Amino acid sequence: MERSEREYDVIVWGATGFTGRLVAEYLLDRYGVGGELRWAMAGRNASKLEAVRAEIGREAGRAADALALITADADDPASLEALVARTRVVCTTVGPYAKYGSGLVAACVQLGTDYCDLTGELQWMRRMIDAHEAEATRSGARIVHTCGFDSIPSDLGTWFVQREMRARHGVPARHVKLRVRGSKGGASGGTIASMLNMLDEAERDPSIRRVLADPYALNPEGRRSGPDRNEGLAPEKDDDFDVWTGMFVMAGINTRVVRRSNALLDDLYGADFRYDEAILTGAGPLGFLKAAGLGLGTGGVMALMSLGPIRRALSRLLPQPGEGPSKAQREAGYFDIELHAEHPGDHGKSLRARVTGDRDPGYGSTAKMLSESAVCLALDPARTGGGFWTPASAMGDALLDRLVANAGLTFTIES
C-alpha cells in the first residue's frame, strides 16, 4: 500500500519496555487518541500491551481503550512486515538493536516505511548502512538512528550553532566543541544490555573493535578520514571555557553522528570541520582532579568490562531489562550543555550556544525526543528522500522547533 494511504502515522514498537512505555505515555498525553496523530502501540506480548495501555490511560486520566495494539516479534519476520506495512513511521525501542533490530530495519527499507530509534550501537548502525543504504534510497525509506540523548542534543546543537554562525557571519565555524555543564539521571537495564552486547561482539570480532575506534566510523564511503582524532582519557585545559575538561562517555557515539551529518549535508559545516565533546570539571587543582577522576574511572570501567568473565559477573549486579530510573528521578533530572563555535578567522565572532532539557537525559527527555522525531517524520514536509540519515540531516529545523515547542528542550545563543 502507498505510504500516504497507510492506517497509522506512527507505530511504537517496544511499548512494553522501560523507554517504549515512556514514549507511549508521552504520545498519549501530547497527542491523545483519534486526534491529529494516528498512532498505535506494538510489542511481542498482547496481554502485556493491554496492561500497559490500561496503566498509561489511568495515569494520564485519559481514555486509551481506542488505542490499537499490534503484536510483532523480532523472531517472526512476517509479523514485522505486517506491522511495517500498516504505518508511515515505525518508532522502535526494542533493544539491544544489534540483537533484535535488524529484521525491522530490513522490512522498513523494503516497504519504504520511515523509521527512528534510540540505538547508540555503532557497529550495528555501520552494518545496517552497508547492507541497506542503496535499497533505502530506492524505496524512499528514511532511516534515522540515534534519536535520543545520543545524539540529538549534539547533532541539533551543532546544526543550530552553525545555522546562527552562517546567519550572523556568513561562514560556518571550522571547529565546534560541545561541553557538558551538568546533567542528572540514571541508566536502564536495556541500555546496559545494549552496551554489554556491543562489548560481547567486540570481543569476538576484531573488525568491530576497529569500527568502535574509528572517529569517522559512520561516515559514507570515501569520507572516512578527517582532522579529528579519538577522545583521550587525560584531563585537558580548555582555553575557551577557561576550565579543565574530562572524558564524556557518550562522545564516542555523538561525535560520529555529527561528523556523518556534515558529510550527508555536503560539508555544510566545512570540509575541514572539527568536532569534539567533553565534560567541564571546573578551574584550578580541584577541576584537574575531577577531570583525572573521570578519565581514570571511565578507563577503569572500560578495561574491566572488556574482560568477558568480569563483565558477565558484574552485569548481574546492574539494572536488568525492563528496569530504570523512577518517575521522581526522571522528573528531578536535567541536562545542560554548551557548544562553542569557533569563527574561522576572527575569535571575537565565535558563538556560544546552550542546549538544555527538563528531564533526565536518558529516559524522560529521550522519550520526548524520540516521540517528536517520529511525529516529525510522519507529519512534517520531508527534507530528504530515502536513505540512512542523522537527526539533523533528516529533520533539521522542523525537529528543533518541535523539541522547543513540545519536549522541554531549549536552544539559545549565549554570546
CB of 23 to ligand NAP, least distance (A): 9
- Report the C-alpha gap between 262 and 219 in whole angstroms: 9
Q: Is 191 in the site for ligand NAP (CB under 6 A)?
A: yes
* C-beta closer to ligand NAP: residue 289 or 318: 318
**Pairing state of beta strands 387-389 and 142-144?**
parallel
Cβ proximity to ligand NAP: between 140 and 186 the closer is: 186
User: Residue from 271, 322, 327, 405 that binds ligand NAP (CB under 6 A)?
Assistant: 322
Instruction: State the minimum distance, in angstroms, from the CB of residue 257 to ligand NAP.
Output: 10
Q: Which region, judged by CB under 6 A, interacts with ligand NAP, from 72-80, 127-135, 211-219, 389-397? A: 72-80
Which range in 92-100, 165-173, 175-183, 278-286 contacts ligand NAP by CB under 6 A? 92-100
**Residue from 97, 115, 388, 411 in contact with ligand NAP (CB under 6 A):** 97
Give residue for cell 520531508: 382
Size of the site for ligand NAP (CB under 6 A): 35
Residue whose CB is less far from ligand NAP, 120 or 287: 120
- Residue 386 sits in the site that holds ligand NAP (CB under 6 A): no
Three-point CA angle 374, 378, 379, nearest 5°:
120
Rule CB under 6 A: choose which of 10, 31, 57, 93 binds ligand NAP: 93
Residue ranges in 334-373 that form contacts with ligand NAP under rule CB under 6 A: 362-363, 366
Distance CA 146, CA 407 (A): 17
User: Does 256 sit near ligand NAP (CB under 6 A)?
Assistant: no
Kindly state whether residue 140 participates in binding ligand NAP, applying the rule CB under 6 A. no
Task: Pick one of 194, 254, 356, 371: the residue that binds ligand NAP (CB under 6 A).
Answer: 194
Instruction: Give 155 or 342: the residue with its C-beta nearer to ligand NAP.
Output: 155
In order of 153, 214, 254, 353, the CA distances from 180 in angstroms are: 11, 23, 13, 12
Residue 391 as a binder of ligand NAP (CB under 6 A): the answer is no
In the complex with ligand NAP, which residue's Cβ is closer, 165 or 180?
A: 180
Question: Pick from 87, 154, 183, 188: which binds ligand NAP (CB under 6 A)?
Answer: 188
The contacts of residue 271 (CB under 8 Å, 6+ apart) are none
Nearest distance in Å: CB 209, ligand NAP: 20
> What's the grid cell of residue 110?
523494503
- Contact residues: ligand NAP, CB under 6 A: 14, 16-20, 43-45, 48, 73-75, 93-97, 100, 118, 120, 148-150, 188-191, 194, 321-322, 324, 362-363, 366
